[in-house]
Amino acid sequence: MNAFMEDLVLHEDPRSGNCFKIRLTAALLGIPLERRQYDIMKGETRTPEFLRDVNANGRIPVLQVGPRFLPESNAACWFLAEGSPLIPQDRFARADMLRWMFFEQYNHEPNVATLRFWLLFVGEANLSEFQKGQITAKRAGGEAALAVMDEHLTRSDWLVGDSVTLADIALYAYTHVCEAGGFRLRDYPAICGWLDRVAGLSGYVAMD
C-alpha cells in the first residue's frame, strides 16, 4: 500500500505521452502504480463499459484512486504530487506552474502530440482529407509553442523556479518525442538542454 492508503491504477495506452506524464510523476516520487492497458487504435476507450465505469469522455489516461476515477493527465499529476517538491511552495510560482500546464493542453498537445499520433500511429497515407488539411496549421501551432518554451528556457533551467516541477513533466512528455511528429529539436537548443536535465533526474523512467 502507498501513502494514499488506496490502490492507484493508471488506465493507459503506453504509447500516449499524456499517460507517460503520470508514470513519470509517480516514478520521480517513488509512488507505485498498477497499470491497466487499452489500445486506443482499437477503440478500447470508447466501449460502453469504459464510458460508464472509467471516463464518460472516452479518453485515457484516467487515474483510479480506490473506487474513484480522475481523468485528465495534468490533474492526475497534480493529485500525485501535492505536498511534494514537484509543486512549488510559493503561491505565484504554483499558479505559474499551472499556467504552463494549461499552455501544454491548449497550445502544445493539440499540435505537437496530434501530429505525432497522425504520422507515427495512423500513418500519413491513412489520414482523412480533413486531417491532412490541418497539418500545416498544427505544424505552425506546434512550432510556436516550442518557440515560446525555448525562449523561456534560454533564461532558466526549469520552466518555473530553480528545480523541476509538474510544468516540466507535463511539457516534457510530448516534447521529447516531437520528432516523430516532424518537429526538429535541433531548432530549439534551449529545449535540448532542458530535455537532458529532465532525463537525468533521479528516478526518471523512459516512455515504453
Residue ranges in contact with a second copy by CB under 8 A: 56-57, 65, 68, 70-76, 78-79, 82, 91-92, 94-96, 98-99, 101-103, 105-107, 109-110, 130, 133-134, 137, 148, 151-152
Please report how close the Cβ of residue 176 comes to a second copy at its closest, in angstroms. Answer: 20
| CB nearer to a second copy: pick between 44 and 72 | 72
Tell me the C-alpha distance between 72 and 11, whole Å.
11
Strands 34-37 and 8-12, sheet pairing: parallel
CB of 78 to a second copy, least distance (A): 5
Contact 58, 46 (CB under 8 A): yes
Residue 133 CB neighbours (<10 A): 10
Indicate the residue among 151 and 208 with the shorter CB distance to a second copy.
151
Write out the E strands in 55-138.
62-65, 68-71
71's grid cell: 481523468
